[in-house]
């Protein structure tokens, strides 16, 4: 952290020994955890550690990719507000921005789009792998396996210190995720696989691979194509969340990016993270209509249920992505017709924004609360929802991985523990226990 001021310090008095310590304060409010280790009661003492389950107050890395100001409800990719990017950019331009740090010139963007488009096909053996899954296999389970399997198709990906190799794997992953996602959907439906159409835009090609039946004249509705692109922009990165941390942790052992990303996807799959969009839709379907809301809310207040799609570790204000998604939903419903569960969602939000339980805990709708309603209206099955999160988040995972691989301060991720188990004891043979 070169920006630190040498005069900014924190004085600590150890009341066990009466000794005083001066710890450097970096970047305004950060102390190095390793500086605590000098605080000891005796020479043989291990030294002080910080205990932080869930990393609630631990900065694991410095980063220049994405900034979230949870108190003000602000999200910026490389300094650009999410609202401006969602309004004026495209997903692939945002991908370039996140991966390379700056918005591209037209020539740079054309080159990047060409590079991604060149890699949209997958090896034919991947189709054999897909055929091994049951017809009802969950799309995320298949995706995680397929991305891990891709590492065996590109063994050179192991060379994570080679910048050219890293760039090639990044292009491959960004390009192939929609193809893999569409294959899982077609497998589930028992439909023939559709190959990528590289003259289409990134979202249009994806929609084509999913929904085209028969001839080659399928063209997605431009409003839905744009809505999907906006949703991809909103999901592209979110700094050090659970799955990105998994990506960085696995990547820190110098695993190839396909293996690391399979781990990140597994983290995303959980219902508290990227699986929440699926959980929200299941919850809204279960509630069914507004008349059932009071009973549901009562179970949330009692702590028996969670209102899925609400709450966030970082946002203590309205998630800016949720506001944009709510507006996008109107555009989509104008084409597809209104999702009847929207009324349930709007009523839940109205109640939650007024009720003490939610207000006191700063629980606002997050990105997943309204996204599922759009996805459902567009014809995506519920089990594809986390996959629709994983496709754009691929860019964030890879931007953060690229940053981590080049960061000289990063070492293998290996936290400490506070051991509370048994004192040393002798093995007892089974007949004597």
Residues with catalytic roles: 273, 312, 368
Tell me whether residue 255 is exposed, middle or buried, using C-beta atoms within 10 angstroms of its C-beta: 0 to 12, 13 to 18, 19 or more: buried
Q: Which residue(s) pair with 31 in the sheet?
A: none
**120: three-class secondary structure by DSSP:** coil
Assigned token pair, 201:
């835009």
The span of 59-67, 101-109, 259-267, 309-317 binding ligand CMC (CB under 6 A) equals 309-317
- Would you say 220 or 365 has its CB closer to ligand CMC? 365
For residues 393 and 234, what is the distance between their CA atoms, to the nearest angstrom?
9
Of 34-42, 301-309, 377-385, 400-408, the segment contacting ligand CMC by CB under 6 A is 301-309
| Contact between 76 and ligand CMC per CB under 6 A | no
Please state, in angstroms and rounded to a whole number, the distance separating the CA atoms of residues 247 and 251: 6
* Closer to ligand CMC by Cβ: residue 140 or 367: 367
CA distances from 218 to 65, 183, 202, 288, 293 (A): 37, 17, 15, 34, 40
For ligand CMC, give the closer residue by CB, 58 or 406: 58
CB of 66 or CB of 241, closer to ligand CMC: 241
Judge whether 392 and 235 are in contact, CB under 8 Å.
Answer: yes
Question: What does the buried/exposed string (b/e) look like for 181-199 if buried means 16 or more CB atoms within 10 Å of the residue's CB?
Answer: bbbbbbbbeeeebbebeee
For ligand CMC, the binding residue among 307, 322, 324, 388 (CB under 6 A) is 307
Q: How many residues bind ligand CMC (CB under 6 A)?
A: 20
Per rule CB under 6 A, is residue 236 in the interface with ligand CMC? Answer: no
CA-atom Rg of the chain in angstroms: 24
Among 274, 320, 372, 396, the residue binding ligand CMC under the rule CB under 6 A is 274
Q: Which of 238, 248, 328, 344 binds ligand CMC (CB under 6 A)?
A: 238
Task: Work out whether 316 is an interface residue with ligand CMC (CB under 6 A).
Answer: no
Residues 6+ apart with CB under 8 A from 28: 8
Residues 355-394 that bind ligand CMC (CB under 6 A): 361, 363, 366-368
Note the residue count of the chain. 433
> Of these, 68, 177, 276, 384, which contacts ligand CMC (CB under 6 A)?
276
Number of residue whose CB is nearest ligand CMC: 311
Indicate the DSSP class of residue 224.
H
Our finding on whether 73 is near ligand CMC (CB under 6 A) is: no
- Please pick, from the candidates 273, 282, 316, 338, the single residue that binds ligand CMC as defined by CB under 6 A: 273
Residue 8 token pair: 């900014």
Q: Which residues bind ligand CMC (CB under 6 A)?
A: 238, 241, 272-274, 276, 300, 306-313, 361, 363, 366-368
């Amino acid at each position: 952290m070169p920006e630190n001021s040498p005069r900014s310090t924190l004085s600590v008095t150890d009341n066990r020994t009466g000794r005083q310590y001066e710890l450097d304060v970096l970047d305004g409010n950060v102390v190095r955890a390793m500086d605590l280790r000098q605080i000891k009661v005796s020479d043989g003492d291990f030294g002080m550690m910080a205990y932080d389950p869930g990393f609630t107050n631990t900065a694991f890395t410095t980063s220049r990719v994405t900034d979230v100001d949870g108190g003000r409800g602000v999200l910026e990719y490389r300094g650009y507000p999410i609202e401006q990017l969602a309004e004026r950019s495209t997903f692939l331009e945002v991908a370039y921005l996140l991966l390379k740090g700056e918005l591209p010139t037209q020539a740079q963007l054309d080159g990047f789009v060409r590079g991604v488009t060149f890699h949209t096909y997958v090896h034919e053996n991947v189709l054999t792998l897909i055929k091994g899954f049951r017809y009802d296999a969950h799309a995320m389970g298949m995706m995680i396996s397929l991305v891990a399997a891709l590492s065996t198709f590109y063994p050179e990906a192991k060379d994570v210190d080679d910048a050219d190799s890293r760039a090639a794997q990044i292009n491959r992953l960004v390009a192939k995720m929609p193809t893999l996602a569409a294959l899982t959907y077609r497998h589930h439906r028992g439909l023939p696989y559709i190959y990528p159409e590289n003259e289409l835009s990134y979202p249009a090609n994806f929609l084509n691979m999913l929904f085209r039946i028969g001839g080659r004249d399928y063209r997605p509705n431009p409003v839905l194509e744009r809505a999907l692109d906006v949703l991809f922009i909103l999901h592209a990165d979110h700094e050090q969340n659970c799955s990105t941390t998994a990506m960085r942790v696995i990547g820190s052992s110098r695993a190839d990016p396909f293996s690391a990303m399979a781990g990140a996807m597994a983290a995303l799959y959980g219902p508290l993270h990227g699986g929440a969009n699926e959980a929200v839709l299941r919850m809204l379907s279960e509630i069914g209509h507004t008349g059932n809301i009071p009973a549901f809310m009562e179970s949330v207040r009692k702590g028996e249920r969670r209102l899925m799609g609400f709450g966030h570790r970082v946002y203590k204000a309205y998630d800016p992505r949720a506001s944009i998604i709510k507006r996008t939903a109107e555009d989509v419903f104008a084409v597809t017709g209104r999702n009847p569960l929207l009324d349930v969602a709007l009523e839940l939000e109205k109640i939650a924004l007024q009720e003490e339980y939610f207000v006191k805990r700063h629980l606002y709708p997050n990105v997943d609360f309204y996204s599922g309603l759009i996805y459902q209206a567009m014809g995506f099955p519920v089990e594809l929802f986390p996959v629709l999160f994983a496709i754009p988040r691929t860019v964030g995972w890879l931007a953060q991985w690229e940053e981590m691989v080049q960061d000289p301060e990063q070492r293998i991720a290996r936290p400490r523990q506070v051991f509370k188990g048994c004192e040393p004891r002798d093995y007892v043979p089974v007949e004597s226990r």
